Chain A
Amino acid sequence: MMKYLALFRIRFSNSLQYRAAAAAGMVTQFAWGFMEIFAFRAFYRANPSAFPMEFSQVASYIWIQQAFLAIFMVWFYENEIFEAISNGAIAYELVRPMDLYNRWFAQSVANRMARAILRSLPILLVACLVPPPLRISLPASGLQFALFSLSFFLSLGVVVAYTMIVYVITFFTLSPVGIRIIAAMLADFLAGAILPLPFFPDRARAVAELLPFAAMQNMPLRIYTGHISGVEALGGIGLQVFWFMVLLLLGRLMMKRALQKVVVQGG
């Protein structure tokens, strides 16, 4: 455990080095959040009765999403890992006394957390200060918040487990950039990154909710806003646990096969 903590510390202080990048990231995400909310406001005005969530829920959804972008979005890949695979540096990784899957998993989690911690607080703070329809609202109850927290970490797990599979596919195919982009964009779309799932047409939504991507940002964000609560939330969290396990197992299995291949080919 200590070594994972050390990993996290390094990543965190690394990300602190880039203060201007952090500041710029915050400004970007903040502006992005505003624009998203304004767009939804226009649609809300066009026809309030067709709006599938409450407007304040959408505002909260977007603020939390922007604040924790680095946690939720698949496309924050670890470029180091892609490079290690394509330039053969992976050979070094294999001689270290750490399980490669765990190491990469931990590294991804650490990097995402490090990025998010630095950026989330100021964004959330400002989101609390803007005038009401745009303002972020707090979860309805302490229980709701607890459920959100749980779901939040599970979604991080699901996202990272999914990216692990993308890395392993890179092993097999030395996959061109395109595949990574497609893998990230489809996942993020189906996770509700562009449009929350309630805005999907019924059939598309029914399908999307069954996919593992719904266990990504969709779940914690909707629990936070109160769009999903109580027993339904518990069920959702159960589904997240299920997908997390499946992706984790699948990733480990694929990694094992991939490493065998590396060893056989002599890396």
Chain B
Amino acid sequence: MVPFNILVAVCLAYVCLLFVVAFAAERRAEQGLARWLRSPVIYTLSLSIYCTAWTFYGAVGYAARSGLEFVTIYLGPTIVMAGWWVILRKLVRIGQAQRVTSIADLISSRYGKSNLLGVIVTLICVVAATPYIALQLQSVTLSVGVFASETPEGWALPDQGATALWVAGGLSIFTILFGTRNLDANERHHGIVMAIALEAVVKLVALLAVGIFVVWGIAGGIGDVIDRVNASPIADWPLKPARWMGLTFVAAAALLALPRMFQVMVVENSDERHLATASWAFPLYLMLMSLFVLPIAVVGLGTMPEGANPDLFVLTLPLANGQGKLAMLAFLGGFSSATSMVIVCSIALATMVSNHVVTPLWLSMRQGGVRAPGDVRGLVLMSRRVSIAAILALGYTYYHLSGGSAALAAIGLISFAGVSQILPAMLGGIFWRGATRVGAALGLSVGFGIWLYSLYLPSFGPDGLLSARILAEGPAGIGWLKPQALFGIEGLDPLLHAVFWSLSLNTAVFVGASLLTFPNPVERMQGLAFVNAFDQDPGVRGWSRGGVEAEDLLTMSQGILGADEAQEFFQAEAARQGKGGFLPETTPEFIERLERRLAGSVGTATAHAMISQFAEGAAVSAQDLMAVASEAQQILEYSTQLEAKSEELARTARALQEANDKLKDLSVQKDTFLSQISHELRTPMTSIRAFSEILMDPELPGAMQQKYAEVIHEETIRLTRLLDDLLDLSVLENRKVQLTIKAANLHDLLDKAVQAASNTRPERSFVYNRDTAAEHMPVITDTDRLLQVFINLVSNARKYCDAERPELTILTRKRGGRIIVDFIDNGTGIPRESQRLIFEKFARLTDTQRAGGAGLGLAICREIMVNLGGNILYLPGQGGAAFRVSLPVKPESQQSAEAA
């Protein structure tokens, strides 16, 4: 006897073990040590979630009720696995290439990423899986009940509903903990896979142990069992070929279409080659699982009391024979079967619900779109967690509503029939390019509807969800619409009836609607990618003959090359093949040439992608699309470069233009300069010549002679000064001036300047404002030249300052190794527009008389200051005319010599 509390303790301990295994596997995976987790053996063991509690407990019951028919449930998957090269390999390849996350994602992606299809498939899966999950809860509840009734003390056990609730709650917590830890790119769950692999071992060992005990412990060995089989009613059970074929087909379809199988087989697959191992190892596993089903059923039927539930023989036989520990092992096997199925199934369904229902809804409701990536990630994780809990809650509700009475196998088959509705759209999608979204959506809907009406709803029993009247007479008395005898076909097994009608109409509508509708471009591209999944190896290119119409290619080419050029090309190609007209044979050579021609216009990747829309033998792969993108990128970069180049050219042109303008300016300046020199020279010359001629007049009075001779003398001096200035300026401008560097006191220099300038307009009283104390500072430079500048500035002030009481303020200071001297008068200053002209040659702003010079003074000052390593600037905003002279305290060459 196994006390109930020990049973609970063992269960908890077992779950804890699963936790540890799953956690350890996750940790190893995170550390990048997942390699051994991903062996073919683990993969094969993970496939064993096909064997749920239904297989573990129910197969025996099935055998007890229907003889060898239970074998079909193993036969279907075995056939699919044996033929893995045909379907499974392609599914896995597509799954990897398209990064498929669930079966709903597969269908949605194949048919042009249609979310409607994703929703339909999700709906089918959730509805079909709900009874299946209920089945697992029921089996665990029943098995717990077995131990309870065996308890001699007759403990007050929680009622069955409460047990199911506890199981459902516990499983949802475990699943949420390990199924939604992260958003793995490919939705892979290392921990979960490892845990269910362990559970696969536990359930196999448990069933084998019970089988061995039954055969050799209760019965008298193999021979005895065979005798018992022959003697039992099972041997007389008639083989119904239609039902066998139907069930085998449904089981095969279910293996492909069950969300949890798709999850472990395709999504969790890390290496296509594992399929090769699984193709024999998984059928072997199924064979071992089914090996002792018949003996246990026969022995159970023979030895257990009348009315004992054959679904529980695996548990009750050891218990009845006093094998408490074996029964415990069997219980754990059943528990493993149930839990592994529920965990994976709810993960798969939650992925579908969150990806195809919750997230799209949320995104469409949010007008602003996605603001932060973290937003969606959090949402998806949360919606998966909630979905897992909701799916288990649905399962529990179904269990509660259906009363947990129906035979396990019947519930399982209803589920199988439900998910097998996905099969036409799935197989059509990966083998038939003509399959369209509309076809798939209509086929799925029709099949799903018929399944609901003829199998699912009636499964709740008369007056469950469909009234007994409808079941017996059809809706509103329409006989041919009777749920279990559609179109007047009576007497068929309800399951076969439903499978037949739902799948055949599903397929017919799918094919028919696909033929009548046209796929959109995305659909067409995805269709190619799916159907030609094996031709996508990089480097494999080239086109196969057939399947493409020259006319289609011509139409497309006209759009790219232009009508004339395309027609010309096609005509030439046809002529090359010895044909007339515009339509050459679509030989691979021709398509290659066309592709190259198109590539000239739109780039190679784009051309390939476009031809791929029509031609067989190649598909648009992700690489192709990436290439399209990178081609566009290159074009963009190239045009950016061109832009930069033309920018550069424009800059160069501007620079040339500027240089040219400068040259023109220089030329104009030169002309202006010559003209000005000419004018400045001719003016004194005019006076000299005119008075010379006058002096030649013998009648000229003596006083006049004297006066005119003085004029000539004065003008000659003026002329000489002008020539001196010009020569001086020329020397200074060519930087060929010989500087005589010596030290002086700035104060003394300013004194001399004021003194020298005093004969300029001496009639005016002129006030100097000076801070003589500040002026005492040494300066080492060409002091004569500096003095020349000072004199010029002071003279200018005296000449041009138009104030009533003219004043000149001279400010001196030293700043950063430079001496700064400002000359500021209190006149009206120099107009802004003239300020930049004053240092130019001959830029005399006022009339000649007042200036008394040729207008070279400031130009010479500027050149002197440049030669002294300083500068002279006009200082605006000082009230009057203001000039700032600045120069180094000592010449730079001398400074650096001292520093060195």
A binds B: no
A interface residue numbers (CB < 8 A to B): none
